[in-house]
Structure 1
Amino acid sequence: MRSAAVFRIRRWALSRSFILAALLVGLSGCSWLWQPDAVMPGGAERERLRAVSGWVMEGRIAVRTPEDAWSANLEWRHGASEDRMDLNGPFAQRAATIRYSKNFISFESADGDRAESGDPEALLRERLGFAVPLEALRHWVLALPAPDQAFTPRRSSGGADVSADFDQAGWSLRYDGFMQEGQWTAPRKMVIQGRGVVLKLIVDRWRFDG
């Protein structure tokens, strides 16, 4: 499909622009780079976090697969009935918007490529070149295992839990630091890996309802 090919080219341009923008941000001395990590939230706080009805995450995403690699700015708005993910280039140039509710997804790129599907993973694979379970990802970005699915905490050689890291549904979740946002503690950096996909997220800001 021509529109999909155009979007792939746009993604490569976006990746190069993102690298330059990231270097400029580092040189500018943004304070988030030097803020000490917050402590990983305890069990009670993590359950309160799971119950939050809405949140906004602003940051960067990088995706690597055996066939491709790309990166972009990301704004993710989670609501009670829908999730919206905006993938953006520097200076607020929109590349694509993804809207997701359970078992339904829509995709719209800046060049007019639009698609809808009842199979979210298939549409992600077709349009972005990778697939990840979005229903579980809603929880994973908060360092929470998806409910009603078995998971395995990461443990030290002595058998004690060492971090928020865990494995679930064929995916490995690794968290590198947490940040404080009001009364909430949420991940600052994370790596989500599985099925040939490596997805890295760096969060600049969280905002929570309530």
Structure 2
Amino acid sequence: MKHPHRFLAAAALLLLAACAHKEAVKPQPKADFAMLLDEQRAREHLLARTDHWVLQGKIGVSGVVNGKKDGGSGTLTWTQNGDSYEFVVHGPVGSKSFRLSVTPDGAVLEGLEGGPQRDPNPELLVQNALGWHVPLRDLRAWVLGTRADSGPAELKFGDDGLPSTLAQDGWSVAYPAWDTTREPAVPSKVFADNPPYTVRLSVESWHFQ
């Protein structure tokens, strides 16, 4: 015959485990979300005035070109100077390396066969020349962990109070890691997905002017 005390103890443990599971998946209270959203607005206000910086790290892009999966990767130096910026990508041996220079007047892509290429739209220029589908306009905001001005955005926050995901303009942006040594904090990893396209940024250093 089974001991009733052991049975009751086991049942109590199962009940506690079930309660703990429910607590773990409980949605974030609206009051907490409102507070986190206010903190995010404050971050965005500070970073909106930060338009001169240099990001160094790695970039990986994948997608579909002419019905086939394609992409590329390399080291990235992104220099932002107000409304102008420069992307310098050095790929592995045998891969694509290039320099993309963008101003309000248009974009110039250098380093590929055939000489410099120009287009008023940098995103179309990169897509046509490299096959890379990269949301450059919105990425300037997303890489700082802020919402772009391209339309409505949905934010979710992690336990650290910083954005964990951002959904905007058809893209889902994840922030697996942040550099919290800075004030305000900035992302150290940015993963953007808009199937079949993906953009992966791993930031090794930020330099703000």
How far residue 165 of structure 1 moved from its aligned partner, in angstroms, is 1.3
Is 2:54 the counterpart of 1:52? no
Q: Distance in 2 between matches of 1:103 and 1:152?
A: 31
Runs (5+) with no aligned partner, structure 1: 1-40
Match of 1:206 in 2: 206
Q: Distance in 1 between matches of 2:132 and 2:96?
A: 20
Runs (5+) with no aligned partner, structure 2: 1-38
How far residue 201 of structure 1 moved from its aligned partner, in angstroms, is 0.6
Q: Distance in 1 between matches of 2:129 and 2:112?
A: 13
Is the partner of 2:82 in helix, strand or coil? coil
Task: Report the residue type matching 2:196 in the other structure.
Answer: G
Q: Distance in 1 between matches of 2:105 and 2:169?
A: 18
Q: Distance in 1 between matches of 2:44 and 2:72?
A: 31
**Which one of the candidate residues 129, 134, 137 is aligned to 2:136?**
134
How far residue 164 of structure 1 moved from its aligned partner, in angstroms, is 3.8
- Residues 173 and 191 in structure 1, CA contact (< 8 A), matched pair in contact too: yes
Match of 1:64 in 2: 62
- Residues 73 and 91 in structure 2, CA contact (< 8 A), matched pair in contact too: no
Q: Distance in 2 between matches of 1:110 and 1:121?
A: 16
Q: Distance in 1 between matches of 2:167 and 2:85?
A: 24
**CA distance 1:74–1:95, shift in 2 (3 Å):** same
**Which one of the candidate residues 154, 157, 162 is aligned to 2:156?**
154
Q: Give 1 or 2 for the bigger CA radius of gyration.
A: 2
Equivalent positions of 1:1-210 (< 5 A) are 42-66=40-64, 67-89=69-91, 95-102=97-104, 104-109=106-111, 113-147=115-149, 149-154=151-156, 163-180=163-180, 182-209=182-209
How far residue 181 of structure 1 moved from its aligned partner, in angstroms, is 5.5
Query: Percent identity between the aligned chains?
Result: 24
Match of 2:9 in 1: none
Please, what is the CA RMSD of the aligned residues?
Answer: 2.7
Q: Distance in 2 between matches of 1:194 and 1:56?
A: 26
Q: Distance in 1 between matches of 2:171 and 2:89?
A: 23
Match of 1:8 in 2: none
How far residue 42 of structure 1 moved from its aligned partner, in angstroms, is 4.3
- Alignment length, in residue pairs? 164
Q: Distance in 1 between matches of 2:89 and 2:117?
A: 16
